[in-house]
Amino acid sequence: MESTMMDGTDLALEQRPAQRRSRHHQIVIVGGGSGGITAAARLVRAMPADVAIIEPSAKHYYQPLWTLVGAGVFPKERSERDEVDYIPKGATWIEDAVASFEPEDNAVVTAGGDRITYAYLIVAPGLQLNWDAIKGLEGNVGRNGVCSNYAYDQCERTWQTIQGFTGGTALFTMPVPPIKCAGAPQKIMYLADSHFRRSGVRDRSRIVYAAGTPGIFGAPDFAVPLNAVVARKGIETRYKHDLTEIRPDEKEAVFKQLDSGEEVTIPYDMIHVTPPQGPPDFIKRSPLANEAGWVDVHKHTLQHVRFPNVFSLGDASSLPTSKTGAAIRKEAPVLVKNLIATMRSQPLTASYDGYASCPLPTDYGKLLLAEFDYDMKPAPSFPLLDPTKERRAWWELKLHGLPALYWHGMLRGRA
C-alpha cells in the first residue's frame, strides 16, 4: 500500500548502495514527525547546538486530523505541510532513512549508505502499520466498503464509504494494542452513527464495534461516559475480538475470540479497519530495542536504559503511555531538559508522568476530552470543568485550537 512510504519503513534494504560518506553531528534525531521536530525545536531554542534530523519524507502530517477528514469535516490536504518549513532554523535536515544503529560506536547507518556519528541521539521514527497482518486487507482498503483512517491517502475514502452506506451492517475494528491514538477506531464510529442518523439510514442499520481490547477504554473514569455513548447510540460491542482476515468478495470479517480461540465471522456492508501496529522493523532488530521491539527508555527520564547518550520519545519509545501527539507535547520538554543535563554531566531532574490525551468526538459538535496519566487517573488541563462530560467547547478545540497549537506551538518548541 502506497501509504507505508510515509513511515519510511519500506525502503528496499537490498537496493542500498555501498557505504558512501561519513559525517558527524553533535545531536542526531531519527525521524522528523511530531516527536522529532518538537524535540529539535525545543533544543535549538534552549542552547546553541549542532542538530541533524534524519527524515525521509518531504511532507509532515498532523495525523489527528484524519479522524475529521474521514468524517467529512476537512479535506485531507489540511493535515499536510512541507517538512522543510518545520525544520528548526539552524538544524540540518538529512533526507534519508536510518537503516541500522551502532550505539556502541555512536553511529547510525542510513538506507542511502551514509554512516553518521553523534555525541547524542534522539530516536523518534514513529510506529509501523502492519496492514499485511490481516489476511485479505492489503490492496483492498479504499474499495468495496473497506476503509481506514490510518493513512493519509485513505482517510478521504472513509468519508466516501460512510456517505455511500445505505444500510446493513457497519463494522468498526480495533486491534490488540498498542496502537497510536487508541481512541481513533471508535471516534470515527460515533461520527458515522451521527451521519447515518442525519442521512436517514440509521434505522435500517446495525453498528458493531469489534475490538481486541476487553472494554471500550483503558482509563475507567472515561470508560463510564463512553459506555453511555455506546448505549445511547445503540452500538453493539464484541470485545476480545481480534480481526484476522477480511474476505472482500463475500464481505465477511473473521475474528479470533481471544478467550476461547474460536473463529467468529461477521458479515458487513462497510468496515472501518484499524490495522495492527508495532515497532518499526529497523528498531526491533537494533540493540536499542527492548524485548517487545520498542526503544528501551526509562519511563520518567526518557533516557535509554543501556546507552545514556540515547533518548527516545513518541510512538517508537517503550514509554507505557497512550501513543499520542498529546503525550509527546509533555514528553519533549522532559527529554530536552534531561538531555541537556546529560551533556553537562548533571543529574536528570525532569520527570514525565505519562500524561496523554484522547479527544473523542461523540457527535458532530460534541466531544469528550479524555486526559490521563500513567495511573490512568484523569489529568485535566481545565480542572474546574468535569472532564467526563461531552462538550461543544472541546469539539471546537479539536477542530481549531489543537491544530493551531500543533503547527504554531509544539512544532516551534513553544508549547
Ligand X SMILES: Cc1cc2nc3c(=O)[nH]c(=O)nc-3n(C[C@H](O)[C@H](O)[C@H](O)COP(=O)(O)OP(=O)(O)OC[C@H]3O[C@@H](n4cnc5c(N)ncnc54)[C@H](O)[C@@H]3O)c2cc1C
CB of 414 to ligand X, least distance (A): 17
> Quick one: cell of 368?
469528550
The type of residue at 294 is: W
Give me the helices (H) in 99-178, please: 155-164
Say whether residue 150 binds ligand X (CB under 6 A): yes
328 binding ligand X? (CB under 6 A): yes
Please give the helix or strand (H or E) that residue 141 lies within, else none: none
Q: Which is nearer to ligand X, 37 or 246 (CB)?
A: 37
142 binds ligand X (CB under 6 A): no
314 binds ligand X (CB under 6 A): yes
63 binds ligand X per the rule CB under 6 A = yes
Nearer to ligand X, 111 or 254 (CB): 111
Tell me the H-state helices in 200-306.
220-233, 281-284
Question: Given its phi and psi angles, is residue 272 left (phi above 0), alpha (psi -120 to 50 degrees) or beta?
Answer: beta
Nearest to 178 by CA among 295, 258, 294, 278: 278
Segment interacting with ligand X (CB under 6 A) among 115-123, 158-166, 243-251, 314-322:
314-322
Give dist(CA 139, CA 1) in Å, integer: 6
DSSP state of 152: T
Active site residues: 181, 358
Q: For ligand X, what does the binding mask look like between residues 333 and 372, x meaning CB under 6 A? A: --------------------------x-------------
CB of 40: closest distance to ligand X in angstroms? Answer: 11
Contact 350, 177 (CB under 8 A): no
246 binds ligand X (CB under 6 A): no
Report which residue type is found at 168. Answer: G
Near ligand X in 162-201, by CB under 6 A: 180-181, 184
CA–CA separation, 63 and 227 (whole Å): 26
Nearer Cβ to ligand X (123/170): 123
Unique residue bearing C-alpha cell 479470533: 256
Residues that bind ligand X (CB under 6 A): 6-9, 30-36, 54-57, 63-64, 66-67, 97-98, 124-126, 149-150, 180-181, 184, 280, 282, 314-316, 323-326, 328, 359
